[in-house]
A and B are shown apart, each in its own frame.
Chain A
Amino acid sequence: MIARLTAPAALVSTLVIGVACGSSGEGGREVPITQSQAGCSPKTVEATAGEKLNLVVKNESGKEPYEVEGEGGTKLEEVVVPEGKTREVGFDVPDEPGTYEIKCYVPGDIETTIEITVKAAGATQAPYQSLVRRRLT
């Protein structure tokens, strides 16, 4: 991606945007999430390391408070979605590949976990890893 080539510039602009708009979801890749009686869907979201996501959460369950919140160290602030409303939440995907959990729940009622599966940012890391693997074997 272009962002990697202009990493310092991207960092600066992210900081500026971060200060100006807080963590509102504007600008990231849109990921629709639906909250229903049966829980939240989708259950898994694939993302690239360092990417910015814009979670568009819609509460169609007829229940509230329906919340999304980072779990197990995932940095996502708690957002309450009132019944019938849609809320947009920005999520900065961590740079470390792995699985990150987001709790999507109605307290004491519905409890689901959305897994964000983060893959390494392709091109630059893949040759490096294969190089390491080759040396080890």
Chain B
Amino acid sequence: MLFSLLVTAREGIEIALIVTILLGYLRRIDQKRHFREIWYGVAAAAALSLAVGAGLEIASRELDGRVLEAFEGFTMLFAVCVLTWMLFWMKRNSAGISTELKHQIDVALSRGSVAALALLAFSSVGREGIETTLFLFAGSTNQSSDGLFVIGGILGFVIAAAAGVILYYGSAKLPLRQFFLGSAIALMVLAAGLLTNALTALHEATLISELGFRPWDSESFISMTSTLGKFLHTVLGYDAAPAISQIVLYWTYLVVVLAAYLLWPTPRLPRPVEPSSPATPEPGVLVETR
């Protein structure tokens, strides 16, 4: 539940920010009649994400045995890569997103193309949506309870939608910067767990023949089949008797990625590749994040 909640809250707030920027800008330049195209784009993006999710789910139900384990293992590895890349990309580019999106709205409107507006909403929201689907699927393969997983996911989206409404009406200043930092660290811990779970899956798929010795066994302390054990397995990649390769991989990933993320300097100015964007970022919602 915590896993799905964290993923949908984080990704949902990213989506909320994008939609808020698009709608807020249209409102400011008095083009509220184009709200409809934005919502069409968002709806199409949601449909695409659901379709991708259904595809992954159907694929995993068709498969079984070693092929299924391999499929799950590679999906988890892929999710870890996308997740890590996404966090660094957001950190690097969050300051420029707002101006970039506004610029693209200007281009679409000047061409008189309403389809381009819908496409802009579709592509920027669709990317986040597919990321969400991928992470949720990767995390769902070892869930203790399907019901709680779904509830967590819905709850995350509700939080994100509420944040979106608050941002749009500007009724309160949200601690977005803290939220993005906190959720980034939490997602990295989840990703490290996914990484060790991916090794287990690939080991079961016989793609990795040997994981190395297992230094300890805490099964009698926290059983892998208990609710707590399953919860910790999903969130932290808990294994009662982890193999040395899993321990090394877990801590290497966590230390290296966390250190890189925290020490990586945040660019203050928008990227120089944007000749049309103003030298200083506008005081948009995303600017406050970094």
Contact = CB atoms under 8 A, between A and B. Distances in A.
Interface of A: 19-25, 64-65, 67, 77, 79-80, 82-83, 85-90, 107-108
Given A67-B204, A80-B200, A107 B66 contact: yes
A82 to B, nearest CB: 5
Interface of B: 65-66, 69, 144, 200, 203-206, 211, 214, 217, 219, 223-230, 240-241, 243
A65 B66 CA distance: 12
Contact of A89 (B69, B205, B225, B241): B225
Contact of B225 (A20, A86, A90): A90
A69 B77 CA distance: 24
A20 B230 CA distance: 12
A22 B206 contact: no
A77 B204 contact: no
A107 B225 contact: no
Contacts of B243: 82
Nearest to A22: B227
A23 to B, nearest CB: 6
Residue of A22, A80, A89, A90 contacting most chain B CB atoms (<10 Å)? A22
Contacts of B223: 24, 88
A24 B225 contact: yes
B217 A85 contact: yes
A107 B205 contact: yes
A82 B203 CA distance: 11
Contacts of A107: 65-66, 69, 204-206
Given A82-B214, A85-B219, A88-B225, A22 B230 contact: yes
8 contacts: A22-B226, A64-B203, A64-B211, A65-B200, A65-B203, A82-B214, A82-B243, A108-B66
